[in-house]
A and B are shown apart, each in its own frame.
Chain A
């Protein structure tokens, strides 16, 4: 394998031109070679990282073929289910989950709008939102514990401004107060769960959120009790 070859140091690329000026004799030469060898290892690491990113990308890919055949709602539902999440269409009381025998059922619902999505703990990221943004009737969105959801992604939720009533971004490790600030677009929001989101001063952020979304109940970020801080180590204000 190429990776192995690189690790073993048999590479095809020509060696670096000797660095100018300095040299420390044989020991320096050996150390330099070791340094280069580890440069190769870094390249292998970079491949590993790229592979991870490639996987993440393919799981978040936009499924335009589904949309073309079954419409936006089914496409969003299938995406969510394939991420291990749950879906509720308008008029339904129960969630469709990946465990249930969902395929025929979902594909029949092509003209029924999706009203609720549970994507908690899924690998959803900015690109994956491509599958969701066409939804026009979404009221409930659970994104809690999504490890790849970041502030850039939160910035895309404005498209649900007219409909979204409940949102959870609880325990999303990459969400910060900067992303939360974009939620002012969600005029209909009534419940926002931000428990465990890392922000510098939870009390202040909560006040700012409540001021920005006056009709919305903000959950999980309590004045100074430290739930919002990464370690809970911050002292509550006296």
Chain B
């Protein structure tokens, strides 16, 4: 239907890449076949035995008497508590286990209040990944993430499970710039190329030759990502992170983090404090469970600031407040039989409206961010269909005349984890709560940056500093000092 198939993992017939007897010229050495055979047999046996186990740590499946809270209870103590089980939270959890020095060295707990993910941004996003950002850190994170997604089976593959297929569509992003923004776009592309991204600049003539379905009249220049850009299935990525993290021993529980107990005693002359307990409120009950913890990670996406407002955190320590707020964004889907064909990129119009192809049957999806003064109400996820009729459609139909006749198919809304300060993620240690780390506020590009963000935060926790990417500029200091780190390429 409208959202991406919720089927967990697409099982392709005949396990691509792993099929035995494929016509490789040089026969693979015997040992790997032994591994493979051994793997199958023991895997089956292991599964049989595992199925006999009482529901242990993850409590997957299993009958519970009515009235008891769904899902496993949280443990009483954990080394790291991750608040929020969206793609960012699970990525952090996965990387913590991947980087921990010795196995079972760290007890990581991911707390998610809504196991159906009905409001989580991750599964309501448009699934895009691009290299075309204006901030070096964002480009670097995208490069890291593209390489991660390309080799996803090396990172997140689980033995004896079918390979992960995130259904990546490598069609590129196409940014169109009017004359007044042409110079800026060209400068941004220079930066992207410096970072190793493959981005082409196209003149209107070249654009028209490549995409004859487009009206290029008011376009001065366009930038087109040639590699590592496109879109993929967010559900598959979220599930892959979650599945792998749990197979590495991460605990998960459904419940809402509603309070903290800190080491702060005297709240007046307070400079810093540590969080000692997290209070997890169990679903459909009045109970809450305190969990002792050494480190807390706030990966609550659009609700990251709400978490900071939870009971028990002294107000003085939460200054400055996180500028992260939910902002409602619609995604509309339509059918247009003679719209842009196979070559259709993820197009970002001069007006800020965007669209992309959705499958091969003439379906498209797109949307637009409203102007600041028209931000829709965020109390629910209802869709304003007039927004498409009045704002989005006219703009897209001007760009792509074929869209003048189209049939709307449906729409949904999700929340951007919008950083009103500078539209970039806030990453790293909290300035006053010593054992709290932040990973939120990615303002519409958090899905694609999740692999890099997870690794970066895990490095901070495990090694005490950034190792693969230097993301210090994305830290909280800029909030304290009031110096925004702007990203121009927010769609």
Contacts and interface: CB of A to CB of B under 8 A. Distances in A.
Contacts of B361: 204
Interface string A178-201: 111110110000000000001011
A90 interface: no
A205 interface: yes
A123 B230 CA distance: 25
Interface in B35-63: 35-36, 38-39, 42-43, 45-46, 49-50, 52-57
Contacts of A230: 13-14
Interface string A21-56: 110100010011011001001101111111111010
A31 B170 contact: no
Nearest to B56: A19
A14 interface: yes
B466 interface: no
B160 interface: yes
A183 to B, nearest CB: 9
Given A52-B28, A204-B361, A45 B43 contact: yes
A173 B154 CA distance: 18
A22 to B, nearest CB: 6
A83 B24 CA distance: 10
A180 B23 contact: no
Contacts of B104: 13-16
B26 interface: yes
Given A41-B42, A51-B35, A211-B342, A152 B75 contact: no
A230 B16 CA distance: 11
A35 B49 contact: yes
A173 B22 CA distance: 10
Nearest to B45: A38
A17 B107 contact: yes
A164 interface: no
A152 B150 contact: yes
Interface string A56-94: 000000000000000000000000000110000000000
A84 B26 contact: yes
A231 interface: yes
Interface stretch (A106-114, A134-142, A153-161): A153-161
B234 to A, nearest CB: 16
B75 A178 contact: no
Given A35-B50, A173-B14, A178-B170, A22 B32 contact: no
A13 to B, nearest CB: 5
Interface string B185-211: 000000000000000000000000010
B17 A208 contact: no
Contacts of A167: none
Given A173-B22, A180-B342, A48 B32 contact: yes
A224 interface: no
Contacts, number: 152
A151 B170 contact: yes
Interface in B44-100: 45-46, 49-50, 52-57, 73, 75-76
B47 to A, nearest CB: 8
Nearest to B15: A173
Contacts of B38: 44-45, 48
Interface string B305-321: 00000000000000000
A17 B107 CA distance: 9
Contacts of B32: 48, 51-52, 55
B30 interface: no
A155 B227 contact: yes
Nearest to B22: A147
Contact of B17 (A17, A148, A181): A148
B16 A173 contact: yes
Interface string B204-224: 000000100000000000000
A212 B343 contact: yes
A184 B343 contact: yes
B443 interface: no
Interface string A108-133: 00000000000001110010000000
A35 B76 contact: no
B427 to A, nearest CB: 27
B53 A22 contact: no
Interface in B370-384: none
A13 B54 contact: no
B170 A152 contact: yes
B249 to A, nearest CB: 8
Contact of B19 (A22, A173, A185): A173
A63 B25 CA distance: 21
Given A45-B159, A49-B157, A38 B46 contact: yes
Nearest to A148: B17
Given A22-B54, A178-B169, A147 B19 contact: yes
Which of A20, A126, A198 has the largest number of chain B CB atoms within 10 A? A20
A209 interface: yes
A38 B50 contact: yes
A50 B170 CA distance: 26
B227 A22 contact: no
A162 interface: no
A177 interface: yes
A228 interface: no
Contacts of B107: 17
B40 to A, nearest CB: 9
A145 interface: yes
A42 B46 contact: yes
B336 interface: no
Given A22-B56, A180-B342, A182-B170, A126 B150 contact: yes
B436 to A, nearest CB: 24
Contacts of B52: 31
Given A51-B32, A208-B341, A45 B360 contact: no
Given A46-B159, A174-B17, A208-B360, A22 B55 contact: yes
Given A32-B53, A208-B341, A200 B360 contact: yes
A123 B24 CA distance: 7
A38 B49 contact: yes
A48 B49 contact: no
Interface string B328-356: 00000000000001110000000000000
B159 A212 contact: no
Given A152-B150, A173-B16, A179-B170, A204 B343 contact: no
15 contacts: A19-B75, A35-B53, A35-B56, A38-B49, A42-B43, A42-B247, A48-B38, A123-B24, A147-B19, A152-B150, A152-B168, A155-B170, A156-B227, A208-B341, A212-B341
What are the 4 A-B residue pairs with the smallest beta carbon separation, nearest first?
A48-B35, A38-B46, A155-B170, A184-B343
